[in-house]
């Protein structure tokens, strides 16, 4: 299993924690009245929608850029992304004082384009699939000598994302399960490794759109699968293939991966906004969608659901979701504070 362990051992995760602390927030873990009441058990929301850059992606980007030598940073950075990794790399590059180039799909949401551009990135657009924008990024990197920053399938990216899992372990030591949105699998793999190394017994469960079921299909096939096409409102979860590293980690450490329909995703995002007062993009709402729609049943005990991002237009969320009942303002949630951790050193 060297593909997992190279650059992803406990020491690598500890080093990532130190680096990421300089560029990312410790996001709150909030009790969910919506889910706890519905499921009859304590459910908490890990609010990466409140993260710097609007999504968890700043964790991996910060760790990757910090790990580069001065020459690699000075050449300039390039990535390919549906949006959130583009924003994260743009922010990390701006902080490091180096240029960033991002290749996004022609269908990228305007809010994600605008945020990457506002951070100083040079934007390019190619096609609609991850394979198309990857190819264009590779061409530009070769032409201009830029350093490629992969969106998910690299040890430094996965190690950076693992810090989200470490925070959950600190904030909810009694957690029985963690539910994670799945795009290319970087966040899923990072959280799975954090739990495997430091909180064995926690079920790590992935959720992906039914129209982009690349990880669940790969796990069923016992090898990474490339889907012939993908489609979903969850624009951040549309890679057609998981990474080699992320698949290997998921195969070894992830309990299961389930899929949800777009209607359930839209309803979950709207209910999060109306009932929990949390703005969460469709990609970030898939875990809540899986629970509300009944496709996922949690083990007993407290559970954490990762809300992976919030780069979206609230009007679009309200327009797309199904009615969620009266918009009654809930009481202000209490934040579960982080504890001291052996991974902080």
Active site residue 210: no
Count the neighbouring beta carbons within 10 Å of the beta carbon of residue 143: 8
Which is nearest to 271 in space by CA: 198, 235, 232, 321? 321
> What 3-state DSSP class applies to 222?
coil
Catalytic residue among 57, 112, 199, 214: 57
Catalytic residue, candidates 162, 218, 232, 308: 308
Distances (CA, A) of 227 to 75, 108, 138, 216, 231: 34, 20, 21, 11, 11
46 is annotated as an active-site residue: no
Residue with token string 């839209």: 266
SS (H, E, C) 112-180: HHHHHHHCCCEEEECCCCHHHHHHHHHHHHHHHCCEECCCCCCHHHHHHHHHHHHHHHHHCCCCCEEEE
Single out the residue of 219, 275, 326 nearest to residue 32, CA to CA: 275
User: Beta strands of the chain (E only): which ranges?
Assistant: 29-31, 43-47, 77-80, 100-104, 122-125, 147-148, 177-181, 203-209, 256-260, 303-307
Q: Could you tell me if 151 and 61 are in contact, meaning their C-beta atoms sit under 8 angstroms apart?
A: no
| Residue showing tokens 């690299």 | 154
Distance CA 332, CA 203 (A): 29
CB-CB contact of 243 with 186 (8 Å): yes
Of the CA atoms within 13 Å of residue 95, those in its CB half-sphere come to: 18
Q: Is the dihedral of CA 178, 183, 187, 188 positive or negative?
A: positive
The residues annotated as belonging to the active site are: 57, 308
């Amino acid at each position: 299993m060297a593909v997992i362990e190279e650059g992803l051992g406990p020491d690598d995760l500890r080093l990532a924690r130190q680096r990421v602390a300089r560029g990312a927030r410790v996001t709150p873990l909030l009790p969910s009245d919506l889910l706890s009441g519905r499921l009859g058990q304590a459910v908490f929301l890990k609010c990466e929608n409140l993260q710097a850059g609007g999504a968890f992606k700043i964790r991996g980007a910060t760790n990757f850029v910090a790990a580069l030598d001065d020459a690699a940073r000075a050449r300039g950075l390039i990535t390919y992304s549906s949006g959130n990794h583009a924003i994260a790399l743009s922010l990390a590059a701006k902080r490091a004082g180096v240029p960033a180039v991002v290749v996004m799909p022609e269908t990228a949401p305007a809010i994600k384009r605008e945020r990457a551009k506002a951070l100083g990135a040079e934007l390019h657009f190619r096609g609609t699939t991850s394979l198309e924008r990857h190819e264009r990024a590779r061409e530009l990197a070769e032409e201009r000598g830029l350093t490629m920053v992969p969106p998910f399938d690299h040890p430094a990216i996965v190690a950076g994302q693992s810090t989200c899992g470490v925070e959950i372990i600190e904030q909810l030591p009694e957690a029985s399960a963690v539910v994670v949105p799945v795009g290319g699998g970087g966040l899923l793999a990072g959280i799975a490794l954090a739990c495997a190394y430091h909180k064995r017994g926690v079920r790590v469960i992935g959720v992906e759109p039914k129209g982009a079921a690349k990880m669940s299909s790969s796990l069923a096939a016992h090898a990474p699968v490339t889907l012939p096409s993908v489609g979903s409102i969850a624009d951040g979860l549309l890679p057609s293939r998981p990474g080699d590293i992320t698949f290997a980690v998921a195969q070894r450490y992830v309990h299961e991966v389930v899929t949800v329909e777009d209607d359930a995703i839209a309803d979950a995002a709207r209910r999060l906004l109306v009932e929990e007062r949390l703005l969460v993009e469709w990609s970030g709402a898939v875990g809540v969608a899986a629970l509300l729609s009944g496709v996922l049943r949690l083990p007993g005990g407290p559970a954490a659901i990762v809300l992976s991002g919030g780069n979206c237009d609230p009007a679009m969320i309200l327009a797309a979701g199904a009615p969620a009942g009266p918009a009654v303002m809930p009481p202000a949630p209490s934040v579960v504070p982080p504890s001291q951790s052996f991974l902080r050193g």
